[in-house]
Structure 1
Amino acid sequence: MSVAESSPLGLILEPTIVFTILGAGVYFNRIRSPVYPPKDPHPQLQYRERRLFGYKVSTRDTSVWRTTTLSRLLFRYPFMIEVCYWVLTYLVYQGARGVTALTFTESTTDLARENGMWILEVENILGMDTEREFQRFFLDRPFWIGVLNRVYSFVHIPATVGFFGYMYYQTSSATFTGIRRTMALCNLYAFFVFTTWPAMPPRLLPEEYGYIDTVHSTRVASVWTTNAFCNQLAAMPSLHFGYAFIVGTSMLVHAHWKPLRIIGALYAPLILIAIVATANHYFLDAIAGLFVAILAYFTNSVLLNLLVIEDYILYVLRIEKPPTKEEVQFMNRGTEYESEESMKVWYERV
């Protein structure tokens, strides 16, 4: 299946914008006046206890690398490790999608087309197959369809990255990591669905269905969705909407500035309008994306089992994971570890 090309400028500009936002997140979430933790007073302790699916296991204690250059760098710029997690999650997810896309056969495309038509049949039974009329409403208003094309192509990833940086700054560590795990699990659940049940988006259905690919036909497609590794048959569920729901809800609940709460309230509806008006998703895709987001939220703690792997990787890299904001505040309330007792309290906490 051919993939439309993005503009040459987008190949440079879009990644630059994303990495600039990530860099800004690293800078603004830095520790302003770091009080570096002391050397481990018990270096002979080489293991720590973790939980792995309910069982206690021993993993490498990375505190022995507390004073290495990389550990001190991450201590000063703790959001850097979140950038690494985001990039790793994105690469694994896109790589898995790419392998799936490159192994598609003609029978896969036929199955995806049948599934897309089945979605419309179900919507017809439910009385909600209004995507074509919905798109025509905006096609009659060229300015607004142009806006929605750009919202679909250029808002999703930069907004998500900026959201990560803001939530790291605004919320507690427990809240932020819960949001991060929820979004990662969204990817896993969605990947399972569209790998086992590919669905063709409305824009790729036969012409008699009357849908128009407004994004790719006007060359405003994003570099993130037009590369050869992009799975074009992943309409169900809509991660665009699933992510938008998580972002919008989190902003509505946790943002302190009223304009940001208003943006949070409007974000998911805006993305819903964009994905349907551009014929990239069905309404049922959005409902499925919402369900995936809610399921991921209530089950995200399963990813805590990966802490065992994290410990071993960080140990091999000779890095200690930076402390949370709350732990840094606890350290800064001390007297720069003047006593053995204060150091003991610190190590018991971490």
Structure 2
Amino acid sequence: MFMTRRRGYRIYGPQRRHYKSILDDPSADYSSQEPLTYDSENEDDARDPVAAARHLPKQRNCCGVVVQTPNTSRFKNTIQSRILQRFPFLVEMLYWVINYAFYRMTSIASQRIFAKTGIWNVAQAHGIAVLETEQEGWLSFLFPIQERTVQYWFMHGHQDALTVLNKAYALIHIPGTVGQVALALQAAPDGDY
């Protein structure tokens, strides 16, 4: 979080510059020239039509299609928004938590679904099916070295190499991913995430 923070961005106090997304349509500034719309059915407009007019929907250009999105600029000065703007990695961590929650839910669901046959038996059957497809399927020419040969080599006489590869994977996968994300966020200009 410390490495990917936005330098010069203050959580408290006024901000220095306005952020404009690259997704914004150049004609999105039309709202200042056109007459303001007022919808008496909308709660926000009914309470304060002038305030609602300041936060008209934005037009964004996505893959050649102009899409209207809600204008969230009304929330930019809340403390939560300022913290997330200062530390954008917190949003990434939220995505990780959501992915992990889905992973755990699917793990628990599969254990309950396959409780009678046993999840390990089902996994083993699927693994054997993949090996048979690699060796005996019509695409077997894509797999010149059989998986069993590789597994046998590691399990009989070369377990130290297997330990080294396992530790390298464990030490590189997560820290490497985090480091790459941190570098990407640090390389982006302030506000361009």
Q: Compute the TM-score of the two structures, normalised by the length of structure 2.
A: 0.57
Q: 1:91 aligns with which of 81, 85, 101?
A: 101
Partner of 2:80: 70
SS in 1 for 2:58: strand
Query: Could you tell me how far apart the structure 2 residues matched to 1:166 and 1:57 are?
Result: 31
Q: CA deviation at 1:112?
A: 4.0
**Unaligned segments of structure 2, at least 5 residues:** 19-31, 33-49
Aligned to 1:33: 8
Match of 2:158 in 1: 141
- The corresponding residue for 1:324 is 192
Match of 2:181 in 1: 164
Q: Residue by residue, what CA displacement relative to the aligned partner does 1:229-273 show, whole Å, maximum 9, x if unpaired?
A: xxxxxxxxxxxxxxxxxxxxxxxxxxxxxxxxxxxxxxxxxxxxx
Would the alpha carbon gap of residues 115 and 92 (structure 1) be closer, same or farther in structure 2, given more than 3 Å must change?
A: closer
Higher RCO structure (Cα 8 Å, ≥6 apart): 1
Q: Is the 8 A contact 2:111 2:118 kept in 1?
A: no
8 A contact 2:131–2:147 mirrored in 1:
no
- Match of 1:28, SS? coil
Distance 2:88 2:63 in 1: 28
Aligned length: 150
SS at match of 1:34: coil
**Which whole-Å CA distance do the structure 2 matches of 1:136 and 1:111 have between them?**
23
- 2: CA distance, partners of 1:98 / 1:162: 31
> Equivalent residue of 1:98, what SS?
helix
Deviations 1:286-311 (A, max 9, x none): xxxxxxxxxxxxxxxxxxxxxxxxxx
Structure 1, unmatched stretches of 5+, are: 1-25, 174-321, 326-350
Shift of 1:324: 1.8
AA of the residue aligned to 2:111: A
Matched to 1:323, the amino acid is G
Deviation at 1:27, TM superposition (A): 1.0
| Alpha-carbon distance between aligned partners in 2 of 1:85 and 1:137, rounded to the nearest angstrom | 39
Distance verdict in 2 for CA 1:162–1:101, change over 3 Å? farther
Q: Which residue does 1:338 correspond to in 2? A: none
Q: Deviations along 1:83-102, whole A, 9 cap, x unmatched?
A: 22232233233333332333
For the pair 1:117 / 2:128, whether they are aligned, the reply is: yes
Q: Which residue of 2 aligns with 1:131?
A: 147
Where 2:2 maps in the other structure, the secondary structure is helix
Superposed CA offset, 1:188-233 (max 9, x none): xxxxxxxxxxxxxxxxxxxxxxxxxxxxxxxxxxxxxxxxxxxxxx
My pick for the range that moved more, 158-167 or 107-116, is 107-116
Q: Which amino acid aligns with 1:29?
A: T
Structure 1 residues 70 and 114, CA gap change in structure 2 (3 angstroms)? closer
SS in 2 for 1:32: coil
- CA-atom RMSD in angstroms: 3.7
> 2: CA distance between counterparts of 1:113 and 1:89?
25
CA distance in 2, matches of 1:55, 1:31: 31
CA gap of 1:134–1:64, structure 2 versus 1, over 3 A, is same
The Cα shift of 1:64 comes to 0.8
AA in 2 matched with 1:124: Q
Q: Paired residue for 1:81? A: 91
Cα distance per residue 1:56-81 (max 9 Å; x no partner)? 76543210122222222222222322
> Partners in 2 of 1:101 and 1:167 — Cα distance?
38
Task: Give the AA of the match of 2:178.
Answer: V
